[in-house]
Structures are given as C-alpha cells and as structure tokens.
C-alpha cells in the first residue's frame, strides 16, 4: 500500500517531498529543539535539504521502475496461464489471482505514490478515498491468496487422496472470488476515514490515538501476522509429516518418484513466494506499529535522525512494493513450465538483441577490413 494510507512514512508524512518551497525548518519546528546558530545544526539543515532534493527525484523514479517491472512480469504470467491450456491448473489459478493482486498493487499503490510524490497529480478527497480503499483491499487479497495456496499444498501432500476429489479449478475460481469479496468487506471502513491532510497526503484519520492504534493493529494482524502464522503451520506440517515420506500406491516406482519431485518443486516455489512476502512486508508493518504506538517519540526523538529514518522508511516501502515485482521471476526460475513459456513470450526481444549484436559485430569487422586491421581471407 501507499505509505500515506497508513502513516508509514512517518517523518516523510510531515514534509511533502514534492513541495520544497516550504522550509524544512518550519515543517519540523526545529527552533524548539536546538540553537540555529550552532554549526552542527547548520550542517544538519543542509543535509536534510539535500536529502529532500534527492528524494524528489529518487522516489518517483524508483517507483516508476518498480511499476514497469510489476506490470510486464505479472501481465506475462496472466497471459501465459490464459493462453496455454496445459497451464490452467489449480496452483496456476492461484498464481493468476496473485498476479492480479500484484497488478492492482502497481496500479493503485505504486503508481499513485510515484505520481503524488512527483507532483504530477493533486490528491482530491474522492481519489483519496477510492485509491486508499483499493490499496488495503489488494494487500488483503494478496495475503489471502498466499494463505490459500499454502493450505492447498498442505492438503495436496498430506491428504493426497482426499484432495484429488475436491481439488478442481472451478472450486479455485470460487475461492478467488470469495477472497476478493471478503477483502472488500473487511476494509470498507477505510473508504470512510480516508482524508486529504494539510500536507496534501491521503491518510486514514480516526481523530483519536486509541482509534488509530486499534485500526493499525487490526491491519497488521489481518494483512501480515495471521496469514503468516497459517502459512508457517502449513509448511511445518508438510516438513514434519511428508517431506521425506516415500510415495505409496500402485504406480510404478519411477512414476511415483516423478510425482513426488513435482510436488516438492511446486511446494518449494510456493514457500519461496510466501517467504518473500514475509521478508518484504516486515519492515513496513514494523513502522506501522511503531508510529501507531509510539507516535510522539517517533517524531521527536531527534531531528538529526530525520535523514536516517526517512531513508529506512523509503527502503521499507521499496521492499513492500518490490514484492509485487519479484513473483514472476520466482515462477520463471523455479518451475520448468513457466520458464519455457516465459522464453516464448520474450523470444522476439531476444531475437532483436541477437540481430543487433550480429549487426554490431559485422559493422566492426567491416570497419577493420577497411582500415586494414583485418583480412577478408
């Protein structure tokens, strides 16, 4: 989600990066904290100004690049699954839903953040409520989809016989639709409490510290802690019960071995996706809870920490948004089927690069022949 939606840019919320006309000293009211005549304070003033000037360029550029990667990668995943019937499996339907949530994250989280911080579009109340609401919904849908994938892997491996009868693509489609419906209902209050603040940022405003803490706790639990616990339970159960278990049945030994290898490979892929989600979103949720439960100390510990805290929160936001871009790479490097079709999708680009390389080599050789450095014989 966009940081302005849940107060996670902390100090950066107090200063609009794209508006450098306002004095950084006035924004932080630093006259109450240190003597402006002090040399070290003057150096701090300059460093903060440089930091904000750099952020005005770095933040939008980084987010635009992440948005491009996320759109290309996840749209390719959806195209591959829709285009090739052999890719329309239960697991891949979950992956397609995850790709949809990632594209929604790009469109409603990453791009609005980039556009707002670059000053390209102003933030109106209607846009604020709509975009902020969709942001929470997409992140919740991502969590629920990952959890559903882990539960699916658990039943497929631990209760293989039972899952064969109940595990169908039609049921997965119903699960995916249910995930979106629940996500929309869970975070409907966000559309009501979202407002444009005096700093022209879109935030959830509850009016009381208690309300803010309750909301941020609910958001962290529903969009991180609870899904992560369920995922961990599923994978611990898989590891303890069946990871080293020999497949049983009437199939040949080779067929059993192939089936076991395939299940393990897909399970590893899903586990890597869940692990990346946990790692990428942990810093952002950490800042969310810190700001909610230690707001005053967070803002007033020391103005000299502004650059450090702003940088850390920027990195946390990049990690969270970057999670929507890395999943296609995980599919490409961990599964043979996706790797094969990714090569087909991007084959025209590779051919263009090969032609360019061959043309460059030929031109270089002709140049050497003309200058007498190389012989045609």
Q: How buried is 224 (Cβ within 10 angstroms: 0-12 exposed, 13-18 middle, 19+ buried)?
A: buried
Do 121 and 213 belong to one domain?
yes
Residue 138 banded pLDDT, cuts 50, 70, 90: very high
237 and 365 in a common domain: no
Q: Is the pLDDT of residue 11 over 50?
A: no
**Residues 263 and 356 grouped into a single domain:** no
* Residues 146, 187 share a domain: yes
Indicate if 352 and 323 belong to the same structural domain: no
Q: Which of 28-37, 65-74, 325-334 has the lowest mean pLDDT?
A: 28-37
Q: Are 283 and 356 found together in one domain?
A: no
The residue ranking higher by pLDDT, 315 or 370, is 315
Kindly indicate the confidence band of residue 258, based on its pLDDT and cuts at 50, 70 and 90: confident
Tokens found for residue 3: 């940081």
Higher pLDDT, 153 or 29: 153
- 271 versus 175: the higher-pLDDT residue is 175
Residue 319 lies in a domain: yes
Q: CB-based contacts of 16: which residues, under 8 Å, 6+ apart?
A: 22, 199, 200, 201
205 has a pLDDT exceeding 60? yes
**Same domain as 317, residue 201:** yes
- Does residue 276 share a domain with residue 164? yes
Between 2 and 257, name the one with better pLDDT.
Answer: 257
Question: How confident is residue 363, by pLDDT bands cut at 50, 70 and 90?
Answer: low
In a shared domain, residues 323 and 193: yes
How large is the angle between the packed helices 90-105 and 39-83, nearest 10 degrees? 140
Highest mean pLDDT among 198-202, 281-285, 311-315, 357-361: 281-285
Q: Are residues 82 and 123 in the same domain?
A: yes
Mean pLDDT of the chain: 75
* Local confidence band at 357 (pLDDT 50, 70, 90 cut-offs): very low
Range of the domain at 128: 3-335
Chain-centroid distance of CA 74 in Å reads 12
In a domain, 341, yes or no: no
Of 57, 53, 311, the C-alpha closest to 45 is: 53
* pLDDT bucket at 266, cuts 50 / 70 / 90: confident
N-term to C-term CA, the chain: 63
Number of domains in the chain: 2
Select, from the ranges 18-32, 131-145, 232-246, 351-365, the one with the highest average predicted confidence (pLDDT): 131-145
Whether 340 is in a domain gets the answer no
Q: By CB neighbour count within 10 A (0-12 exposed, 13-18 middle, 19+ buried), where does 107 fall?
A: middle
Report the C-alpha dihedral over residues 49, 50, 52, 57, rounded to 10 degrees.
Answer: 150
């Amino acid at each position: 989600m966009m940081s302005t939606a849940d107060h996670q840019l902390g100090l950066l919320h107090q200063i609009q990066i794209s508006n450098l006309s306002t004095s950084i000293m006035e924004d932080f009211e630093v006259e109450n904290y240190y003597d402006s005549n002090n040399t070290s304070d003057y150096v701090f003033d300059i460093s903060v100004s440089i930091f904000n000037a750099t952020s005005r360029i770095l933040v939008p550029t980084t987010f635009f690049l992440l948005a491009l990667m996320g759109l290309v990668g996840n749209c390719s995943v959806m195209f591959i699954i829709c285009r090739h019937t052999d890719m329309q499996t239960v697991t891949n339907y979950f992956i397609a839903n995850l790709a949809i949530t990632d594209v929604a994250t790009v469109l409603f989280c990453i791009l609005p953040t980039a556009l707002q911080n670059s000053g390209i579009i102003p933030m109106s109340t209607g846009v604020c409520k709509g975009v902020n609401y969709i942001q929470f919904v997409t992140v919740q849908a991502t969590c629920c989809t990952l959890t559903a994938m882990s539960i699916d892997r658990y039943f497929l491996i631990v209760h293989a016989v039972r899952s064969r009868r109940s595990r169908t693509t039609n049921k997965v489609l119903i699960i995916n639709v249910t995930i979106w419906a629940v996500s929309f209902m869970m975070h409907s209050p966000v559309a009501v409490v979202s407002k444009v603040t005096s700093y022209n940022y879109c935030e959830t405003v509850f009016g009381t510290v208690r309300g803010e803490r309750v909301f941020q706790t609910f958001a962290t639990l529903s969009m991180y802690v609870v899904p992560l616990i369920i995922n961990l339970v599923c994978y611990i159960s898989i590891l303890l019960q069946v990871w080293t278990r020999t497949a049983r049945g009437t199939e040949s030994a080779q067929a059993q071995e192939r089936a076991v290898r395939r299940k393990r490979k897909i399970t590893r892929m899903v586990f890597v996706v869940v692990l990346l989600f946990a790692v990428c979103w942990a810093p952002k949720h950490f800042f969310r809870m810190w700001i909610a439960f230690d707001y005053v100390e967070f803002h007033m510990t020391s103005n000299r920490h502004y650059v450090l805290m702003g940088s850390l929160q920027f990195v946390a936001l990049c990690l969270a948004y970057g999670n929507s871009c890395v999943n296609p790479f995980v599919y490409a490097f961990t599964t043979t089927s996706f790797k094969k079709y990714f090569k087909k999708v991007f084959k025209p680009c590779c051919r263009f690069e090969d032609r360019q390389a061959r043309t460059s080599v030929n031109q270089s050789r002709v140049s050497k022949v003309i200058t007498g450095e190389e012989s045609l014989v």
